[in-house]
Amino acid sequence: MNRETAYWITLAHDLPAWSFSNRGGWKNEDKTNLIIRFFHENRISIEDFFNLSDESWAKDYQLSDRQIVDLKQAKEKLANNAFLSETLYNNGIEVVPVISPDYSKTLKENLKKLAPTVLYIKGSKQIMQEDSIAIVGSRDASAIALKFTDNIAKLASKEYKVVVSGFAKGVDKQALDSAISCKGQSIIVLPQGIMTFDSGFKTYYKQIIDGDVLVLSIFPPKAGWSKDLAMARNPIIYGLAKEIYVAESKSSTNRQGAETKGGTYAGAMDGLKKGRTVYVRKPDIFEKNDNNLLIQKGACPVDLNGKSMIQYPVTEELFSMVSEPQTQYSLFSENE
Amino acid sequence: MTRPESEILLQRSFKLSHFYDEQWQTIERLFNGERVLLIEKTGFGKSLCFQFPATVFSGTTVIFSPLIALMRDQVQKLVSLGISAKCINSEQTPEENAQIIEDAKRGKVKILYIAPERQENNEWIEATREMNLSMVVVDEAHCISVWGHDFRPAFKRIINLVKLLPKGLPVLATTATATKRVEQDIAQQLGEGLTVIRGNLMRDNFKLFVIKVCSEDEKMIWLGKNIEKLADKLGGSGILYTGTRVDTEIYSKWFNHLNISSTAYNAGLDADFRIAVEKGLMNNQWKCIISTNALGMGIDKPDIRFIIHTQIPQSPVHYYQEIGRAGRDGLASYIILFYNPDEDKKLPEAFIEGGRPSIKKYEKVISVIKSGLFSLYELIKQSNLKQTQLRVILTDLMEQNIIREVNYGGKKRYEFIPNSVSLNPKSFEELRNAKLHDLNKMLEYVETTGARMKFLCDYLGDNANRDFTNCDNTDEKRIKVIVTPEWTDTLQNFRENSFPELEVQTAKSHLVNGFAASYYGVSHVGSALHRSKYETGEDFPDFLLKLTLKAFRKKFGQEAFDLILYVPPTKSGNLVKNFAEKMSNVLKTPISHNLKKTKITEEQKIFESVISKKENVKDAFDYQPTTEIEGKKIILIDDIFDSGATIREIGSLLTTLGATMIAPLTIAKTVGGDKL
């Protein structure tokens, strides 16, 4: 049991979050910067940090008056969060702070300062340190997308790679079921708080105690499912994986009824922007989805078994050239 | 806040003029946001050490207390002083508890008492996220320690909670009884930065006696002769502690027989009755309450004038804790312990030796839990263990971090902890040895020739030098039991006319509570039954028939019965049938042999849990022709009454077939733990 759990939960969830209507709020990066300062640079614990004086917060950490007020108000929640921490502990849920050696290194490398302050997990935490792939795709995926998912999950399991998925219908569920069916390991990334997943804990009890399934959430433990949380969860799925496979990217409608590209597309694009290799199932010509669009944007097409369909070897330099801004080429030609 | 300032407030809120030094020392530390373990004797005023600061703090103080009676009592007192105090407990309705939680969330409650088990309750967990918490108190903190005399698993969660609480939030743990070892254990478990404040444990208003006897009869006779006189002499009432629930029944009937004003109390009685007895105790409604140690802990009655034990407690700590309830007003109080060297060691020894199930059973439970996520009820079924044994196993497995109790959807389940260490039976052995050591110390107390209070204080880690003049080894006269023939006759008469009740009556069937001729383990009834059933196969001896007929005449003599039925056997042949035929001859009531088994059942004794026993006999009986039963009053005979599952099953069948009354009658009734 980490005695400082209540402090980490407080830092993660009890500071007012940044938003367009609250531009003075805390971004994840602000919290990460603070952690770097007190933990890595000043080498003090989070408990000691919370017990510093206002002056020290202002002087040594350059916190604004408003941030100091925020921290003081958050501090009021420490006792409440201690009760919560005890409940989590009693239910076998671990709270892994970003400074912990148990925290997923892959997630930290991929998300950098956007890595969540804490992870709530249940299951064997060793799973977070294994090689991993994410299989993502639509909730109402086609039969061929599900077949692709099944193939990739089983291949990954054979190679002792962990399958990361988001516990939604369609591709997510298929990825999990396929990995479990061949005794592979999986991470379920929840679109909700971990304490609202009771039915899942009952269903996957055997897999959890056998060390084959790890359930993970980054949200306040009691938070119920919401579309916003489902969207916010997507980067975590991508972040936890070393390789990303897209089974099917389909459009969906937003709250206003307008058509959007959907979470899979947004997540894959985010991955591409971060320079990550994203494998996308090459669709048949009759399929109506955005897989080809992702391939056009730089994703790597793969066949039903995940084999690359690019005829020439794809190197990292090649990808970086493709993603270089056009202006560099025009400047080059002008100079010529 | 300074001491003078606090004492002005104290006068205003609690109508008290000043603090004792140790009280102030504790309060001052709590004001500084520190953690304190306070060990002080009963009656010292430990409660004030948290009640006062709680009224000064801005938020709510949460007090974890295992004692509902204490919670009720303290809340009443605080409310009468105008302080907003509430308690949440299992004896209130869910609506009442929910309202209190709501009030606490809104900051309307200053002091909130709660049972440690409440940490499992979802509503409470929700509330703790919103409440403004200012202090946490762990009352009866010895329950934290497995080395303590009253370890409670629910306290394990409280320890974890305290460890997780932020620096600067005051925490107070209190107890009246902690040996040095328990003190160290509590301090170590509650984490660094804990200050221990220990007061003196001397109770100089006690008069301590040990009465050595040669039999249970001598105890009963001395008590019959003297208990009323003692109560009258001391001008109040007292408590008689027995070793078992059955003994509370027997002594209560004995006093009843002698017209001594008394009542029985044990944890098996329903809550309303227990509350009524607690109230009656406060008002001196009876001269004596006969109880297991379930009564009294935390009851704030200042004038309990005597405490008598008919059975030696497991340790001097248990004893000090139990006698501590007497004489809180400082006036003279009699503390008497009976001890029969031939017999009395057996019961606490059996508790120690028999308290721990076999390793095989532990392994079975682990394997069941590994195979699925089960509730307690499901585990009882899957493992076929008695609930009490299963609870011991579960507690130990949780203690060793092999399993955990989780709460999914408001329901408790038991979950295996992946990569946990394997079972370590050594720790059980250590605990067993520690308990045997404690029991030996208690026996030393009986035999000591020195001052008895000094013996207890030394044992509890209070080694201060004082004058001890308050026991039968110092200034008081020794008590001896004198048995006269008149009293022997009175007791004999009582024994022959007192029969254990078989509690089977429900609203749904026409079963009435029946009677047994005797308890299985008392006198030689059990051994006679065992001999016939499992050794000789010969009919039950005639003295059992006479005893059973006596029970029948005494309890059902006025009733006209139409038919005698008997429980068809599983293995022991015609013993019960022959016995029932003899009863039928004497009572001149027809007997029927038509109550039959419709399926093969196992012997009930192989099942440990009541649930499995019920399932074993479910739909196992039939009676043809059914017309013979309609409108009949029936005597239902069996040899031994254990869980009552068979009697209830047959009672339910006969009710369905139209019987108007079914009265069970058995030769013996078992007492928990009897080996059949």
Task: State yes or no: pLDDT of B571 exceeds 70.
Answer: no
Question: What pLDDT digit, counting tens, does each position of B100-141 carry?
Answer: 989 998 999 999 999 887 777 777 888 888 899 999 999 989
Position B218 scores a pLDDT of 94
If you average pLDDT over residues B76-98, what whole number do you get? 90
- Model pLDDT, residue B554: 85
Evaluate if residue B536 carries a pLDDT over 50. yes
Report which DSSP code applies to B628. Answer: G
Nearest CA in chain A to B167: A47
d(CA B76, CA B89): 14
Beta-strand (E) ranges in B477-599?
501-502, 514-519, 563-566, 595-597
Give how far Cα B634 sits from Cα of B56, B167, B337, B587, B651, Å.
67, 70, 46, 13, 10
Q: Which of A6, A75, A206 sits opposite B164 (nearest CB)?
A: A6
Which spans in B286-358 are helix H? Answer: 316-323, 346-354
Could you tell me if A225 lies within 8 Å of chain B, comparing CB atoms?
Answer: no
**Phi, psi values for residue A69, rounded to 5°:** -60, -45
Question: Cβ of A90 under 8 Å from any chain B Cβ?
Answer: yes
The model's pTM is 0.78
- Band (A335; pLDDT cuts 50, 70, 90): very low
The pLDDT tens digits for B337-349 are 999 998 888 888 8
* pLDDT for A322: 55
Please give the interface size between A and B, counted as residue pairs whose CB atoms are below 8 Å apart: 96
Q: Which residues of A touch B416 (CB under 8 A)?
A: 209
Q: Which residue has the higher pLDDT, B522 or B567?
A: B567
Among A159-168, A305-314, B35-44, B523-532, top mean pLDDT goes to A159-168
* Contacts with A86 from chain B: Cβ below 8 Å: 119, 157, 160-161, 164
Confidence at residue B353, expressed as pLDDT on a 0 to 100 scale: 75
The distance between the two most distant Cα atoms of chain B, rounded to a whole number of Å, is: 87
- Do the chains contact at B409 and A1, CB–CB below 8 Å? no
Q: What residues of B are in contact with residue A87 (Cβ under 8 Å)?
A: 119, 125
User: Rg of chain A over CA atoms, in angstroms?
Assistant: 22
Residue A320: its pLDDT value, please?
62
The share of chain B scoring above pLDDT 70, in percent, equals 96
Reported as a pLDDT band with limits 50, 70 and 90, residue B526 is confident
Question: B6 pLDDT exceeds 60?
Answer: yes
Model confidence pLDDT, tens digit, residues B350-386: 778 766 788 899 999 999 999 999 999 999 889 888 8
pLDDT mean across residues, chain A: 90
- In this predicted structure, the answer to whether residue B222 has a pLDDT above a threshold of 90 is yes
Residue B125: its pLDDT value, please? 80
pLDDT at B147: 67
Give the pLDDT of residue A334: 43
Please tell me the distance in Å from A115's CA to the nearest CA on chain B: 25
How confident is the model at residue A332, as a pLDDT?
Answer: 44
Record the tokens describing residue B35, joined without a space: 């953690």
Confidence check: pLDDT of B305 > 90: yes
The shortest C-alpha distance from A83 to chain B (Å) reads 6
Q: CA end-to-end span of chain B, whole Å?
A: 66
Higher pLDDT, B567 or A253: B567
pLDDT exceeds cutoff 80 at A315 = no
Which DSSP string corresponds to B13-52? HH------HHHHHHHHHHHTT-EEEEE--TTS-HHHHHHH
State residue B567's pLDDT score. Answer: 93
Q: Which residues of A204-241 are buried (b: 16+ CB within 10 A; e: fewer)?
A: bbebbbbebbbbbbbbbbebebeeebbeebbbbbbbbb
DSSP for A250-279 reads: --EE-TTS-EE-HHHHHHHHHHHHTT--EE
Q: Identify residues of B whose CB sits under 8 angstroms from chain A CBs.
A: 119, 125-126, 128-133, 136, 157, 160-161, 163-169, 191, 370, 372-373, 404-409, 413, 415-419
**Using CA atoms, how far apart are residues B576 and B573, in angstroms rounded to an integer?**
8
**Percent of chain B's residues with pLDDT above 90:** 52
Residue B670 has pLDDT above 90, yes or no: no
- Give the pLDDT mean for B3-22: 94
- pLDDT (tens digit, 9 = 90+) per residue, B278-294? 888 888 899 999 998 87
Is A22 in the B-facing interface, judged by CB distances under 8 Å? no
The answer to whether the peptide bond before residue B170 is cis (omega within 30 degrees of 0) is: no
User: What's residue B71's pLDDT?
Assistant: 86
Average predicted confidence (pLDDT) for chain B: 89
Q: Are B88 and B113 in contact (CB under 8 A)?
A: yes
Among the listed ranges A28-32, A81-85, A324-328, B245-249, which one has the minimum average pLDDT value?
A324-328
Q: What beta strand segments (E) does A60-159 contain?
A: 94-97, 118-123, 132-137
A242-280 in b/e form (b: 16+ CB < 10 A) is bbbbbbbbbeeeeeeeeeebbbbbebbbebbeeebbbbb
pLDDT of residue B608: 64
Instruction: Give tens-digit pLDDT for B602-633.
Output: 777 667 667 777 888 888 899 999 999 999 99
Q: Does residue B521 or residue B617 have the better pLDDT?
A: B617
pLDDT at A317: 61
Question: Residue B417: CA atoms inside 13 Å, Cβ hemisphere, count?
Answer: 21
Q: Which of A82, A92, A206 sits opposite B161 (nearest CB)?
A: A82
**Confidence check: pLDDT of B673 > 50:** no
CB B663 within 8 A of CB B548: no
- Model ipTM? 0.84
Q: Residue A124 and residue B165: Cβ atoms within 8 Å?
A: no
- Residue A333 pLDDT greater than 50, yes or no: no
Is pLDDT above 70 for A187?
yes
Per-position DSSP letters for B323-334, written without gaps between them: HTTS-TTSS-EE
The pLDDT score that the predictor gives to residue B44 is 87
Instruction: With CB atoms and an 8 Å threshold, state whether A91 touches B131.
Output: no
The pLDDT, as a whole number, for residue A336 is 37
The model's confidence at residue B298, banded by pLDDT at 50, 70 and 90, is low
